[in-house]
Amino acid sequence: MGMQQRLQKLIATAGIASRRHAEELITSGRVTVNGKVVDALGVKADPETDHIKVNGRLINPLLQQREKVYVLLNKPKGYLSSLSDPKSRPIVTELVPASLGRLYPVGRLDFNTEGLLLLTNDGEFTNYVTSARNNIPKVYRVKVKGIPTENAIKRLRSGIRLDDGNRTAPAVIKRLQQTQTNSWFEVTLHEGRNQQIRRMFDAVGHSVLKLARVRIGSIDDFGLKTGEWRLLAPAEVRKFYRPQSSTREHKTGRQSSTREHKTGRRELRLSSR
């Protein structure tokens, strides 16, 4: 590498922990550089000349050998977007081979939500994709109870105050179809609050019955069945770092991409089975 970098970035790159957890390791005094404890954030080190240890383990060899891995998983309902669970519930990392090494979920999908989830050992990529300021769209298909009025949907589009007092950012919401008892929507967010879509529709009196994420940035769920995964191509990873285009441009690009595939697109079924 030949240059100094922040310790939390190096720890995340080595696959020891996420960047946030790496900061906790530093402040708790569990990181040393050249034998000296570092417990303050902002300290930099050069992995080519400095000996960096976490919990007494030298991480320099990990940094030299680390190959970045980017996985796209179609998460089933009933899995946690976590590395472990004290209740022994299924976790998403069980769905990918252990041979890929230690991977971390990029953001979260809650236990009862299905759809696309990225996993990686690249801490910087995780921070970039999850940061709202980078404007990475996440698209969801939502089935809700009842038929929200157009006024209710306008409130959600412009931003609504949630039960914790925080206001959501504007969202793109398209009404897809409805029956006498249920409605289906496509929702595009650029932020990721805990269970945000469920809480948004709860705020207008319509509980979510089913929720699936079908696109992250320019990556959609074409050809990836529930529970399946694939590696992202380098070109797909690079696209995340380009300025995000408008929803209309994404839609056009998605149609063009779909035409390149030989098989038909799997339709996401949101109706009750």
Token pair for residue 79?
């899995």
Q: Compute the Cα dihedral for 59, 237, 190, 272 and give only its sign.
A: negative
Using a 10 angstrom Cβ sphere, with 0-12 exposed, 13-18 middle and 19 or more buried, the burial of residue 114 is: buried
Of 39, 110, 122, 221, which is the active-site residue? Answer: 110
Give the Cα separation of 233 and 222 in Å (integer).
Answer: 15
Examine the residue annotation and report whether 221 is marked as an active-site residue of this protein.
no
Give the Cα separation of 258 and 270 in Å (integer).
Answer: 21
Residue with tokens 């953001």: 107
Amino acid in position 129: V
Amino acid in position 200: M
Give the Cα separation of 11 and 161 in Å (integer).
Answer: 37
Q: How far is CA 42 from the centre of its chain?
A: 26
Residues identified as active-site: 110
